Amino acid sequence: MSLQSIKYVQGKLEILDQLLLPLNSKYIDVKGVEDGWKVINRMQVRGAPAIAIVGCLSLAVELYNENFDSKKTMRQEIEGKLNYLVSARPTAVNMKIAADELINLANELTKDENCSVNEMKSKFLETTEAMLEKDISDNKAIGKFGAEAILQSYGKDSPVKVLTHCNTGSLATAGYGTALGVVRKLKEMGKLEHVFCTETRPYNQGARLTAFELVHDKLPATLIVDSMVAALMRSKNIAAVVVGADRVAANGDTANKIGTYQIAVVAKHHNIPFYVAAPLTSIDINIANGDCIIIEERPDREMTHVGEHRIAAPGIKCWNPAFDVTPASLIKGIITEHGVFSPHNLAENVKNLQNV
Ligand code: MRU
C-alpha cells in the first residue's frame, strides 16, 4: 500500500508530519483552521493538491464541531476562513481555486430558500470530503495519460528511464500522485526501467520525500543531486522528464519547485520531452502568463544549514525562491486528468472543460 499523507473521518483530520520524514512517521491532529494554516505554512504538509485538501478539510473539521443559528453566519465564517487559508502559502493555486468554489457553493446555499442550516452544513461537508476521492481518481487518470504520452513519444517498445523533480507523489496529494503517478503507471504497465529523482535543494523534497516513497513502493529508483541533471541526460538515455506544478498560467508557463526551469532548459538541449503533470485544480487560466505568478521566498536558513549544522560561510547573503517558472516553449505537454494538452491550446481546452 502506498503512503497516506492525509487521514480523515468526519470531525477528525490527521496529517503525516513531513518535517519528520524520512526518519520518523508521525501523524499530527489538525483540529481546525488555525492548525490547518500552521501545518501548511510550516510545510508539515506540502505539495499543491495536498495543501488545498488539508486546508479545506481543516475547515470541515471545524464546521462539523460547530452549531450555527443562521446560514448567513455560516457563510461568513466559510468565506473568512477559506480566504485566511489561501494566505498560508502564495504560489500554488489549488487552495485558491478550491476556496473560490466552496465560497460560491456557500453563497448559492445561503440564497436557496429550500435549504436549511443543517442541510447547508451537510452539503458543505460532503463537497469538501469529495475532494479526497476525486484527487486520487484524477491522479490515476493523469498517470494513464502521462504514461501513454511518454511511451508514444519514446517510440520504442522497451521500458523507459525517466527523471522527476521535487515530490509529487502520495505525500503531495490525496494518494497515487501526479508526476509520480505517471511513474507509478509506467511501472504498473511493465514499462518503467528506472526513475531518477533529484535531491531538490535546498528543501530536499526529492531526497527526503520522493526517495522515501520510491523505496517504500519498491520502484527502481536512483537519487541524484540537482547539478547532475545534464550529465544524467547525456549518459543515461532518459526518455522523458515529468514534473508537477504549483500554478500553470493560461499560456502554459508553469511555476513549480525551484530547479524545474533549469531541468527544462537542459532537457531541450538534449532533445528530451519535458512534461508537466497537473490536475485542472493547478491551472490558473485567469492569469495570462508566468510573470503574474507570485513566487514564495523562504528563509536563508534553509540554504545555510543542514539540520542544526551550518554549511554556508557566516555573513553571506542568500536568495531563496521556493519556485521558478518554466516557459511554455520548453514544455511538450501538460498532462491533466482529461488528457495531454499542448501549452498552446491549454486555456481553450480548460475553458471548454469548465463549461461542460
Ligand atoms: O514547496 P512544496 O514542497 O510545496 O513544493 C511542491 C512542488 O513544487 C510540487 O512539484 C507541486 O506542488 C506539485 S505536487 C503534486
Q: What is the CATH number of the domain that holds 288?
A: 3.40.50.10470
- Global pTM reads 0.97
Nearest CA to ligand 1 atom 15: 168
70 and 57 in a single domain? The answer is yes
Same domain, 111 and 171: no
Both 63 and 154 in one domain: the answer is: no
Domain co-membership, 129 together with 196: no
Look at residue 32 and tell me if it is in a domain. Answer: yes
279 and 333 share one domain: yes
Nearest CA to ligand 1 atom 6: 47
Domain contains 1? no
Domain co-membership, 93 together with 216: no
Residue 35 appears among annotated catalytic residues: no
Residue 283 domain flag: yes
The residue to mutate among 44, 246, 281, having the most atoms of ligand 1 within 8 angstroms of its beta carbon, is: 246
CATH code where residue 80 lies: 1.20.120.420
Q: Is residue 245 part of a domain?
A: yes
Residues 272-285 pLDDT 10s:
999 999 999 999 99
Radius of gyration of the chain (CA): 20
- Is the same domain home to 233 and 278? yes
Residue 258 near ligand 1, beta carbon < 6 Å = no
pLDDT in tens, the chain (356 residues): 779 999 999 999 999 999 999 999 999 999 999 999 999 999 999 999 999 999 999 999 999 999 999 999 999 999 999 999 999 999 999 999 999 999 999 999 999 999 999 999 999 999 999 999 999 999 999 999 999 999 999 999 999 999 999 999 999 999 999 999 999 999 999 999 999 999 999 999 999 999 999 999 999 999 999 999 999 999 999 999 999 999 999 999 999 999 999 999 999 999 999 999 999 999 999 999 999 999 999 999 999 999 899 999 999 999 999 999 999 999 999 999 999 999 999 999 999 998 77
Together in a domain, 201 and 344? yes
- Looking at the fold, whether 114 and 163 belong to one and the same domain comes out as no
Alpha helices in the chain, H assignment, sequence order: 33-41, 48-64, 71-86, 94-111, 117-154, 179-188, 205, 211-216, 229-235, 260-269, 301-304, 346-355
Please check whether residue 156 lies inside any domain of the structure.
yes
Q: Is 257 in the pocket of ligand 1 (CB under 6 A)?
A: yes
- Residues 139, 119: Cα–Cα separation, whole Å: 30
Contact 164 CB / ligand 1 (< 6 Å): no
46 lines ligand 1 (CB under 6 A): yes
* Spacing, Cα 348 to ligand 1 middle (Å): 25
Q: Would residue 82 count as lying in a domain?
A: yes
Residue nearest (by alpha carbon) to ligand 1 atom 8? 257
**Residue 112 is assigned to a structural domain of this protein:** yes
- The domain boundary residue, chosen from 134, 158, 183: 134
- Residue 91 near ligand 1, beta carbon < 6 Å: no
Same domain for 119 and 147: no
Q: Which of 99, 134, 169 is the last residue of a domain?
A: 134
Shared-domain flag, residues 267 and 336: yes
pLDDT digits (tens, 9 = 90+) for 39-60: 999 999 999 999 999 999 999 9
Relative orientation angle of helices 117-154 and 179-188, to the nearest 10 degrees: 60
How is the chain split among helix, strand and coil, in percent rounded to 5? 45, 15, 35
- Those residues whose C-beta lies under 8 Å from the C-beta of residue 318, and which sit 6 or more positions away, are 300, 303, 304, 312
Cα of 49 to ligand 1 centre, how many Å? Answer: 8
Measure 205 CA to ligand 1 centroid, in angstroms. 9
CB-CB neighbours of 288 under 10 Å: 13
Domain count for the chain, please give it: 2
- Give the residue numbers spanning the domain of 116: 6-134
Locate the ligand 1 atom nearest the alpha carbon of residue 169 and give its number: 15
Exactly one of 35, 135, 217, 246 is catalytic; name it.
246
| 4, HSE (Cβ side, Cα atoms, 13 Å) | 10
Note whether residue 263 is domain-resident.
Answer: yes
> Which residue of 41, 97, 168, 203 sits with most ligand 1 atoms within 8 Å of its CB, as the best mutation to test the pocket?
168
172 CB within 6 A, ligand 1? yes
Which among 82, 101, 134 is the end of a domain?
134
Does the CB atom of residue 205 touch ligand 1 within 6 A?
A: yes
One domain for residues 111 and 16:
yes
Mutate to test the pocket of ligand 1, among 167, 200, 296 (most ligand atoms within 8 A of CB): 167
